[in-house]
Structure 1
């Protein structure tokens, strides 16, 4: 993954807080040097290479899997109990280190900081693949499995109470929903805070999610997303775009489902160059096409924040 449109910093050394940290430090430094070489376009860069220039926290924390949920036919959601000092911002990812597995995984949190504060856990939704970390999650991981994690990434939404109000446009393709779902949950937490304080805590604008998948079965978190729209109808909205639906859409989803890809016409209704802040995550071709469209609609580059998943 990469985040070309936002400020990134060079990766720092890992804090030696667990046995895997020394190994991960050497991998990260190796990745930085490898990235400077001319690599074959046929070889896919791994997570550490892709994110070598991204910001990372110093600490590497031990963690334990405390729940496994089948989110869809191809996606498992892990609940992971973390160290009390672990923290993250909505939209960030973790370096995911598995004892005995050489490759380091890179997975965005699909939970929000509020869940961490309330329950001391984070959640990751991981699609099946033969990449060793994802394959381990789908074939070997059990409740009680131990891992280590380190937070990184410059793709996040973390407003302060004094920040001016913005309208969020979240655009997701496939499992690119994970960091955007974290951001959406975070905005609903802020809306709840505002309800409790009479609107004195945060300047919260609207949030609209455009989420594209092949069919409704592959739409992750759809029930929770629609519940947020129903709880805050003046603040939260979404459109589920399905491109290869072969069965009837469930009645409760029908008001939110649109056939086909996300269109320029839809984006135009959601873009205000002075207020809109857009977060995009998904396959590179989709991100590139939508970024181009958004700029043609008058949205400046500094208001388009994206993360590509290969």
Structure 2
């Protein structure tokens, strides 16, 4: 007999979370594809959080909270005040990416957008999978490696967005594995955050590389290619992809040799089969890569 699936509050009972609930307005719903939607939650007052944290989300008529990672950077929830009186005020907001699911909070969010837009929700910030990495002096970092599987990209999107707003002095390697059902012509606009990630790297705001691993589509088995991404102002760029699963060898190559690992940090977020393998091998001093455990951070959501 299969064990009963735990809900978000049960899975995260030991995680830190704020005491207070905030009321937000669901201002906008955008469908990325038939499995993922983006939600813009407007705040009546600024709210502080760290990149990588999630929200307990209470939707109308559902007693238990859903758990969804904030995908926007903290600056979106605490925008600066403009000195220009003619400039319209920027409303503070949070962005969530929510995968389609029969779970009651997610099912509510997947109703007809017209029926839920402008509804009021209650949210609370929580989570310990955050940037900057606890116990690591970021002034000594030479490399940050982000490893995402599917919607595990969500907390890493917030982290990278935050780094792009600053003068990031170290190299960033971003490895992202996701399903692509689009056939041989990969469509970046239907892949969660691919164009946003490509824009950050193409702008030079972050120095490093974005690499995609596409699974589930036609031709999976090692085919290499380039997906064209719109990056704003009519500009396009190409991001290399491989039609296969990401491997430990890919992660190891991104992290670098022993001399580089001492000054690196790795964030892994995805399904447990992926996170467990990668984290164990990165931190294993006998049969793996011997990274200090506090330099290998992970979050499992399934």
Check 1:242–1:254 CA distance in 2 against 1; reply closer, same or farther (3 A cut): farther
Asked whether the equivalents of residues 46 and 78 of structure 2 are also in contact (C-alpha less than 8 Å), the reply is no
Check 1:236–1:116 CA distance in 2 against 1; reply closer, same or farther (3 A cut): farther
Aligned twin of 1:258: 242
Check 1:306–1:133 CA distance in 2 against 1; reply closer, same or farther (3 A cut): same
Aligned twin of 1:149: 123
Asked whether the equivalents of residues 198 and 239 of structure 2 are also in contact (C-alpha less than 8 Å), the reply is no
Asked whether the equivalents of residues 71 and 125 of structure 1 are also in contact (C-alpha less than 8 Å), the reply is no
Distance in 2 (CA, whole Å) between partners of 1:139 and 1:133 is 11
Aligned residues: 259
Aligned twin of 1:174: 150
How far apart are 1:219 and its partner, in Å? Answer: 2.9
Distance in 2 (CA, whole Å) between partners of 1:82 and 1:165 is 36
Asked whether the equivalents of residues 90 and 183 of structure 1 are also in contact (C-alpha less than 8 Å), the reply is yes
Aligned twin of 2:3: 42
Which has the larger displacement, 97-106 or 252-261? 252-261
Is 1:91–2:20 an aligned residue pair? no
How far apart are 1:163 and its partner, in Å? Answer: 4.2
Check 1:219–1:298 CA distance in 2 against 1; reply closer, same or farther (3 A cut): farther
What secondary structure is seen at the aligned counterpart in 2 of 1:220?
coil
- In the superposition, the TM-score normalised over structure 2's length comes to 0.79
Distance in 2 (CA, whole Å) between partners of 1:140 and 1:173 is 28
Asked whether the equivalents of residues 174 and 219 of structure 1 are also in contact (C-alpha less than 8 Å), the reply is no
Which has the larger displacement, 252-261 or 171-180? 252-261
- In the superposition, the TM-score normalised over structure 1's length comes to 0.77
How far apart are 1:190 and its partner, in Å? Answer: 1.2
Q: Which has the higher strand share?
A: 2
How far apart are 1:84 and its partner, in Å? Answer: 1.6
Ranges of 4+ aligned residues in structure 1 off by more than 6 Å: none
**Given the alignment, which residue of 212, 224, 228 partners 2:177?**
212
How far apart are 1:85 and its partner, in Å? Answer: 4.1
Is 1:100–2:48 an aligned residue pair? no
- Residues 264-297 of structure 1: CA deviation (Å, up to 9, x unaligned): 3322222232111111111111101111232212
Aligned twin of 2:139: 164
Q: Superposition RMSD on alpha carbons, in Å?
A: 2.3
Aligned twin of 1:304: 296
User: Equivalent residues in 2 for 1:1-310 (5 A)?
Assistant: 42-118=3-79, 119=90, 120-139=92-111, 142-158=116-132, 163-166=138-141, 167-191=143-167, 204-215=169-180, 216=186, 219-232=191-204, 235-246=207-218, 250-252=227-229, 255-271=239-255, 272-295=260-283, 296-310=288-302
Asked whether the equivalents of residues 133 and 295 of structure 2 are also in contact (C-alpha less than 8 Å), the reply is no
